[in-house]
Amino acid sequence: MKLSDLSTPAALVDIERMERNILRMQSRMNSLGVNFRPHVKTSKCVEVTQAQIKAGARGITVSTLKEAEQFFAAGITDILYAVGITANKFPQALALLRKGCDLKILTDSVQSAAAISAFGIANDIRFKVMIEIDTDDHRSGIKPDSPQLLEVAQVLAAGGAELYGVMTHAGSSYDLNTPDALEKMAEQERSGCVRAAERLREAGFQCPVVSVGSTPTALSARSLEGVTEVRAGVYVFFDLVMHNVGVCTTDDIALSVLTTVIGHQEEKGWVIVDAGWMAMSRDRGTQKQTTDFGYGQVCAADGAPLAGYMMTGANQEHGIISRHGEPDLAIATRFPVGTQLRLLPNHACATAAQFPEYQALTAQQNLQTWPRFYGW
Amino acid sequence: MKLSDLSTPAALVDIERMERNILRMQSRMNSLGVNFRPHVKTSKCVEVTQAQIKAGARGITVSTLKEAEQFFAAGITDILYAVGITANKFPQALALLRKGCDLKILTDSVQSAAAISAFGIANDIRFKVMIEIDTDDHRSGIKPDSPQLLEVAQVLAAGGAELYGVMTHAGSSYDLNTPDALEKMAEQERSGCVRAAERLREAGFQCPVVSVGSTPTALSARSLEGVTEVRAGVYVFFDLVMHNVGVCTTDDIALSVLTTVIGHQEEKGWVIVDAGWMAMSRDRGTQKQTTDFGYGQVCAADGAPLAGYMMTGANQEHGIISRHGEPDLAIATRFPVGTQLRLLPNHACATAAQFPEYQALTAQQNLQTWPRFYGW
């Protein structure tokens, strides 16, 4: 099986790039002296995750209980479900624990902590629970200095749950684009989470794990003093958003969409391809960044970027490719019907999610099919 | 199984609304005297498509050959693949024809028409081919008055393919929002496609089918003289984009995402729910319309819209719900942890694609699971 034999659109993974990305992150984490727990929501793929574990990752982070179930079935037991849990998901979590999964769950409120404790008591199970800390005003979590932090810990302790630690995610790092700002955000993420752990310990609670992370902060932190583990997801593939944030080059982007030219509108300088938003996703993450790549950067079939050519429009199964600035009126000659192109995505997590499988390309240009899963 | 038993996020289909939407479209088509060939890319679901056929639809339109394969396996034979085909997809199309599928394919260039003819001759098969017409400068297709139209017909005839007809899709109707503009666009779509058919016939070609359609134009056309069939997809569920275009109300929207409140940021007036962009999709189709619904309109669990509450932010598995304008500082009391809400989507095709199955809700509030498929 070769690239030219593939039905398009197809999600290609460049294995060499992926392994380089994995090594880069793991080496950093090793030198900073922390465990690394990759977020597998990006790939939802056992083969990718096994490569991360082989390189030294310890445990995984998941964004859905379906991911937990699938990766547990593949033999991975140390799993952090890093989205606040509610009562309707307790039975699924309980079933995983009863099968032997070392699942950790998350809370950021007295209300949900109380529900976890009550369910644990009723079912004779001791949940390992992390408290989510908000270190960047971005999404969920308790502020490091909030009185609520100790209240939640108290509720968990009284209910017989195990306080496993604190975790935070500086998602606002995605909005930055200078090394200095990223380093400051990494320090803000670290210090806020460590501060929360210290307050818990001062109040007499055990707080063994201090977990931080996002791809940009993980790649920018100078010190991770007080942190025990880091989580990151998108680094495994990288994407154009991360390129604009400044933590990778286009040559690091390991995920692309293989597409075929199906037509033209010559006088407009348009190529029509068989990858629309169903293949690329509707993610326009680079729209507000310094370089807007439309729905993706166009590359030749061998992966070489074609400067200035972008997917500028997307319908469900049609993409429109054109040159930035002046239209390329010779575009139909340049890319005749049947030409294969590769498209680098704005956001790897979103683009990968559109495909039931990856076509993983070895250094020898051989293809392997790696399934991925979706849904909840 | 009741709503409150469902794991969230879940894709809900309100069967009553769906059947009302199906009846509305089919009745219009019947009174306009044309066949109706629904575009099943919206649902990718056999149960939904069967309801359309039961109401009177004749044949289906698909956007991928996987859809063709899946629906053919479910017993539907009259299928139009409405995306320009290229050589790498010929074997898949051939396999369908050899199994007895009455597949129609599409071209808009001499180059691809020649390839279709050559492949047909080499494989002793006579493809039924439609020529795509561009009636609104929106995407693919040949202009009705272009000399290329007759050249393509000539290439098909010489190669022994069957010219099945002409088809067009006025996708730019999505950018309109007044009945007058929509009616004009429907007439432009009709007259352009009929003009192409007439030119072919005048040149001595058979052109039995004249196929037009998009949900907004199908619902706005006054006359379809010369048209033999209409295609439309999103009308089956409708969505907020269609609401803004003006062809449905929020009470017609049959697809919603059921979600659960997992936390709050009270001082910001935020509710955090377990439906992020992975559930809603990244589609922000209402962003440039007159009413921007963010990532979706919030409704109570029973489907009643909660005016002013929208999903204003989305991460992969987290959604942020807030009130438009002034923050609702009582939002945590209004929607406590565990509260179920429904979210109406911007774009039904994109949101539905995120789910492996629908939870279809009967008028008696019973749930049925309807699988859908994805990929290529």
Q: Provide the pLDDT for residue B2.
A: 87
- What is the percentage of chain A residues whose pLDDT exceeds 70? 100
Q: Provide the pLDDT for residue A1.
A: 80
pLDDT tens-place string over residues A222-274: 999 999 999 999 999 999 999 999 999 999 999 999 999 999 999 999 999 99
- Would you tell me which residues 123-152 of chain B have a C-beta closer than 8 angstroms to some C-beta of chain A? 134, 139-140
CB B175: neighbour CB atoms within 10 A? 14
Q: Provide the pLDDT for residue A309.
A: 98
Q: Provide the pLDDT for residue A130.
A: 98
Average pLDDT, chain B: 97
Instruction: Please check whether residue B64 touches A, CB under 8 A.
Output: yes
Tell me if residue A308 falls in helix, strand or coil. strand
pLDDT tens-place string over residues B20-75: 999 999 999 999 999 999 999 999 999 999 999 999 999 999 999 999 999 999 99
Give the minimum alpha-carbon distance from B314 to chain A in angstroms, rounded to a whole number: 10
Confidence tier at A315 by pLDDT (50, 70, 90): very high
Cα atoms found within 13 Å of the Cα of residue A242, Cβ hemisphere only: 30
Give the minimum alpha-carbon distance from A304 to chain B in angstroms, rounded to a whole number: 22
Tell me if residue B167 falls in helix, strand or coil. strand
Q: Provide the pLDDT for residue B1.
A: 80
Cα atoms found within 13 Å of the Cα of residue A229, Cβ hemisphere only: 24
CA distance linking residue A1 with residue B276, whole number of Å: 37
CA distance linking residue B302 with residue B339, whole number of Å: 12
Contact flag B272-A134 (C-beta cutoff 8 Å): no
pLDDT tens-place string over residues A63-113: 999 999 999 999 999 999 999 999 999 999 999 999 999 999 999 999 999
Enumerate domains of chain A plus CATH numbers: 16-236 (3.20.20.10), 248-371 (2.40.37.20)
Q: What is the pTM of this model?
A: 0.97
Q: What is the ipTM of this complex?
A: 0.97
- What is the percentage of chain A residues whose pLDDT exceeds 90? 98
Instruction: Tell me the average pLDDT across B248-261.
Output: 98
Residue A305 identity: P
Predicted confidence (pLDDT) at residue A160 exceeds the cutoff of 90: no
In this complex, the residue of B9, B87, B337 whose CB is nearest that of residue A112 is: B337
pLDDT tens-place string over residues B92-120: 999 999 999 999 999 999 999 999 999 99
In A44-140, DSSP assigns E strands to 60-62, 78-81, 102-107, 128-133
Q: Provide the pLDDT for residue B277.
A: 98
Instruction: Please check whether residue A105 touches B, CB under 8 A.
Output: no
Q: Provide the pLDDT for residue B160.
A: 83
Give the minimum alpha-carbon distance from B88 to chain A in angstroms, rounded to a whole number: 6
- Beta-carbon contacts of A374 under 8 Å, excluding residues fewer than 6 positions away, are A44, A353, A356, B354, B356, B374
Mutate to test the interface with A, among B5, B80, B83 (most CBs of A within 10 A): B83
- Would you tell me which residues 349-368 of chain A have a C-beta closer than 8 angstroms to some C-beta of chain B? 349-350, 353-357
Is the distance from CB of B240 to CB of B253 less than 8 angstroms? yes
Instruction: Please check whether residue A369 touches B, CB under 8 A.
Output: no
Q: Provide the pLDDT for residue B234.
A: 98
Is the distance from CB of A235 to CB of A303 less than 8 angstroms? no
Instruction: Please check whether residue A91 touches B, CB under 8 A.
Output: no
Instruction: Please check whether residue A174 touches B, CB under 8 A.
Output: no
**Four-point Cα dihedral A178, A184, A186, A190, nearest 10:** 180
In this complex, the residue of A87, A108, A263 whose CB is nearest that of residue B263 is: A108
Is the backbone peptide bond immediately before A147 cis, with ω within 30 degrees of 0? Answer: no
Contact flag A86-B171 (C-beta cutoff 8 Å): no
